[in-house]
Structure 1
Amino acid sequence: MKAIVMTAVGDSGVLALQEIAEPQISHATDIKVRLYAAGVNPVDTKIRRNGLLYPNALLPAVLGFDGAGEVVAVGPNADQFKVGDKVWFCHGGLGREQGNYAEYTVLDQRWACRMPADLSYVEAAAAPLVLITAFGALFARGGLQAGQTVLVQAGAGGVGHVAVQLAKLAGARVITTVSSAEKAEFVKSLGADEAIIYSQTDVADAVSQLTSQQGADLVFDTIGGDTFKASIPLTAYYGRLVTLLEPKAVDLGEARVRNLLLGFELMLTPMLRDLPAARDRYVAILKQCAKFIDAGKLSIHVSHVLPLAQASTAHDLLEAGHTTGKVVLSI
């Protein structure tokens, strides 16, 4: 089968279209899926630049956590799906199991879900990692409640644009930061109450005015670095600040004075540390989000669709920054 193979650690040029062996069912509860689309996420580019995440994992490897496709075979004890079912999932891509930049994959039925009826394969492949990440950050880590105010940093991005929608579905007031007027209109179309264009407005002043000098009950930082540092004084006293990235050399004195709860959201942990119960919760999140999608309450925005052979271009787009929504490979 055709697959994009990471041949070495480096820039996007290390991704090569190759013919590799087609995966086969090896466990009784496995399903084999013909992939029609694979989501591309920033973590894919980090793995390509820095190396595979599993200890002792060897190159070459197939990247890609998010996939969507059609079940073409099932193991003898696989009773949750039948041939022809459309599924979406977040599985593989860390260097141990095969990722989804490929024509076929095999995974245990436990980690797959039926696709929302109203999504295309491209939209479905764009969604799992960002939905699981946003849901975990807002609710499991952030404890977001109806009536509270949340600030989503970079609300037009892959994680940000679904976080805006999930927060609104929970009854929260949503403030978000964006880089342009076009993106401000985009996030408002998703339900954001306020959009701060950070290139034109001082974010701290804007948040202070919008929250009557109180700050946001929850700040969700999807960017890290200086944005995490700047998010501390934007968070209300006794509030919560959740980030996707590891803070480096940050003075937490103000966070301590504010009595903030600091949280980290890394949705890869159940795969990295083999935590089946945690992965079960992730599957439950996808099932809940599928209900929202089928009810017309949640949408997935895909800004770029590229053929599988252009995976390196997809990585370049993400690394250039400022993409709206998601980038997907069509297979």
Structure 2
Amino acid sequence: MQVWRVHSNGEPRDVMRLEEIPPPEPAEGQLLVRVRAANVNYPDALLCRGEYQVRPELPFTPGVELCGEIAGGARAGERVLAQPVLPAGGFAEYTVVDEATARPAPEGLDDAEAAALHIGYQTGWFGLHRRAGLREGETLLVHAAAGGVGSAAVQLGRAAGARVIGVVGGEHKARAARELGCDVVVDRRAEDVVAAVKEATGGRGADVIYDPVGGDAYKQSTKCVAFEGRIVVVGFASGAVPTPALNHALVKNYSILGLHWGLYAAKDPAAVDACHRELTRLADKGLVRPVVSERVGLDAAADAVQRVFDGVTTGRIVVLP
């Protein structure tokens, strides 16, 4: 089978190699899956660079989520969403997944859309509902609103009845955020984010802020968060990890909430299953649908991972082996 493998750490475009190897052998409790679509995630680039919290043994295959078809056994032919078991990732024709984590793919989504439903939308749902307790009628601010993670949070916020402010970088991404349904779009390259958010909220600020960027975005968040607001720290796509001024959180009376979705998969898998059922319901009702901006062949996977890391894409890029 064809598969991308990483033999040394570095930039994805430099270290990912397309090779021919035998399909992996599933261990007990695992399933062999034919990959129908593999979504490109920011952590795929971090894995290539050796900067992710999980560091698989070299060589490994990136690709942390997929939609696939079970290749054998009692569940043969079933279309599922799953996270591959590293070092055998999803940028391949076949991979292996833990049977317990192979969940039915929503019928209302095609393979590429289904491949992009799992991690980003699970992260968004847990961040907005389990961590921040987003309520109908509240104002939600989403940084990087046109990206894969941000677009999921925008859709989930709208489904929850929130008013959504999307912060983006550039007119192209501003158009994408408007098409997503953001009530207010702020272009950080052309506008003062803090002033724009305060103007849009009558000076009150945002009740919930969803931040996968860090750096300057986090600093802006602390200046435009509402009384009893909640800042959800999702990641650091900017490359800069902020150091919170806890005295500021005390004086302004807001909460800083960390979100590591992978811990739910490890410590509360029943909650992940329940979230998948809710996301499937929302997808079937048309309230959420992953924004797939590009569908590329397996041979273009390395370039796709690099572009996602470079922050020049909107929505999701999905690899179709």
Q: Which amino acid aligns with 1:26?
A: A
Q: Which amino acid aligns with 1:268?
A: G
Q: Which amino acid aligns with 1:140?
A: R
Post-superposition offset of 1:219: 0.7
Q: Which residue of 1 aligns with 2:115?
A: 125
**Are the counterparts in 1 of residues 209 and 225 from structure 2 also a CA contact under 8 Å?**
yes
Post-superposition offset of 1:35: 0.5
Q: 1:179 and 1:237, CA in 2 relative to 1: closer, same or farther beyond 3 A? A: same
Q: Is residue 296 of structure 2 the alignment partner of residue 302 of structure 1?
A: no
Q: Which residue of 1 aligns with 2:277?
A: 287
Residues 175-214 of structure 1 aligned to structure 2 (within 5 Å)? 175-214=165-204
Choose from 71, 81, 91 the match for 1:88.
Answer: 81
The normalised TM-score by structure 1 is 0.89
Post-superposition offset of 1:315: 1.9
Q: Which residue of 2 aligns with 1:61?
A: 60
Post-superposition offset of 1:113: 1.4
Distance in 2 (CA, whole Å) between partners of 1:64 and 1:280 is 24
Q: Which residue of 2 aligns with 1:161?
A: 151
* CA offsets 1:23-63 (integer angstroms, 9 cap, x no match): 23322x433211011111111111211256446x4200111
Unpaired segments of 5 or more residues in structure 2? none
* CA offsets 1:302-324 (integer angstroms, 9 cap, x no match): 11222212222012211221311
Distance in 1 (CA, whole Å) between partners of 2:194 and 2:5 is 44
Per the alignment, in what secondary structure is the counterpart of residue 261 of structure 2? coil
Residues 77-156 of structure 1 aligned to structure 2 (within 5 Å)? 82-93=75-86, 95=87, 98-156=88-146
Distance in 2 (CA, whole Å) between partners of 1:220 and 1:89 is 25
Post-superposition offset of 1:175: 1.0
Choose from 304, 310, 313 the match for 1:320.
Answer: 310
**Are the counterparts in 1 of residues 193 and 220 from structure 2 also a CA contact under 8 Å?**
no
**Are the counterparts in 1 of residues 85 and 96 from structure 2 also a CA contact under 8 Å?**
no
Post-superposition offset of 1:169: 0.8
Post-superposition offset of 1:248: 3.2
Post-superposition offset of 1:181: 3.6
Post-superposition offset of 1:270: 4.9
Q: Which residue of 2 aligns with 1:278?
A: 268
Q: Is residue 198 of structure 2 the alignment partner of residue 244 of structure 1?
A: no
Per the alignment, in what secondary structure is the counterpart of residue 214 of structure 2? coil
Q: Which residue of 2 aligns with 1:10?
A: 10
Per the alignment, in what secondary structure is the counterpart of residue 268 of structure 1? helix
Distance in 2 (CA, whole Å) between partners of 1:253 and 1:326 is 38
Q: Which residue of 2 aligns with 1:222?
A: 212
Q: Which residue of 2 aligns with 1:253?
A: 247
Q: Which residue of 2 aligns with 1:26?
A: 27
Distance in 2 (CA, whole Å) between partners of 1:297 and 1:128 is 15
Q: Which amino acid aligns with 1:89?
A: A
Q: 1:214 and 1:157, CA in 2 relative to 1: closer, same or farther beyond 3 A? A: same
**Are the counterparts in 2 of residues 66 and 127 from structure 1 also a CA contact under 8 Å?**
no
Q: Which amino acid aligns with 1:37?
A: A
Unpaired segments of 5 or more residues in structure 1? none
* CA offsets 1:61-112 (integer angstroms, 9 cap, x no match): 11111111111213xxx6xxx221111123434x4xx211111122232201
Deviates more, 1:166-175 or 1:181-190: 181-190
The normalised TM-score by structure 2 is 0.91
Quote the sequence identity (%).
33
Q: Which residue of 2 aligns with 1:269?
A: 263
Distance in 1 (CA, whole Å) between partners of 2:135 and 2:268 is 22
Q: 1:53 and 1:245, CA in 2 relative to 1: closer, same or farther beyond 3 A? A: closer
* CA offsets 1:105-156 (integer angstroms, 9 cap, x no match): 2223220111111222122112211111111111111110111111111111
